[in-house]
Amino acid sequence: MELVYYEPYILNLLGIYCYFIYPIAIKIFCGAPEEISDIFKCNFCQVYGLPETCGAGTILTPEDHDPALGKLRSCGKPAPTAEVRIVGEEGGILPANEVGEITYRSKSLMKGYWKNDEATAKSIQNG
């Protein structure tokens, strides 16, 4: 990802910069030509969700964007409206800091795919 520079007065108007789906490029915080705090005078927040979740599943808060915490590759903590688990290939819940598949439960989760029962059965399991 290439860092694009804008006029500082435009970026100083931002209160929070929210990005979605993917982890932020670590070089934006570590190793950028200038300190990120000199370019963006705002906080960062990452939101992970899908159209099927009808909103945020996880949130990496501004407080978690300190590179010293080692959380910039994380998708954050469950949103207040979500129950999130990370499961392994066999479907068991994985312990913290393990890589697996994100599962999600919420009242805002879709009921199913329009006229596609097969896709619904494949993607919505255990309720």
Domain range annotation of the chain: 8-123
User: Per CATH, which fold does 8-123 belong to?
Assistant: Luciferase; domain 3 (2.30.38)
- Please report the pLDDT score of residue 54 as a whole number: 80
pLDDT by residue (tens digit) across 24-82? 766 666 655 455 656 666 788 888 888 888 888 889 998 998 888 888 888 889 999 88
Spatial contact of 67 and 46, defined as CB atoms under 8 Å apart: no
- Closest Cα to residue 59, out of 109, 107, 20? 20
- Please report the pLDDT score of residue 15 as a whole number: 75
Helix/strand/coil percentages in the chain, nearest 5: 25, 25, 50
**Backbone dihedral angles phi then psi of residue 100, each to the nearest 5 degrees:** -165, -160
Task: For the chain, give the percent of residues with pLDDT over 90.
Answer: 13
Beta strands in the chain (DSSP E): 16-20, 43-50, 55-60, 77-78, 83-87, 101-105
- Please report the pLDDT score of residue 38 as a whole number: 63
pLDDT by residue (tens digit) across 73-127? 888 899 998 898 899 999 899 998 888 888 888 888 888 889 999 998 888 876 6
59 burial type by CB count under 10 A (0-12 exposed, 13-18 middle, 19+ buried): buried
pTM: 0.69
Q: Which amino acid is present at 105?
A: R
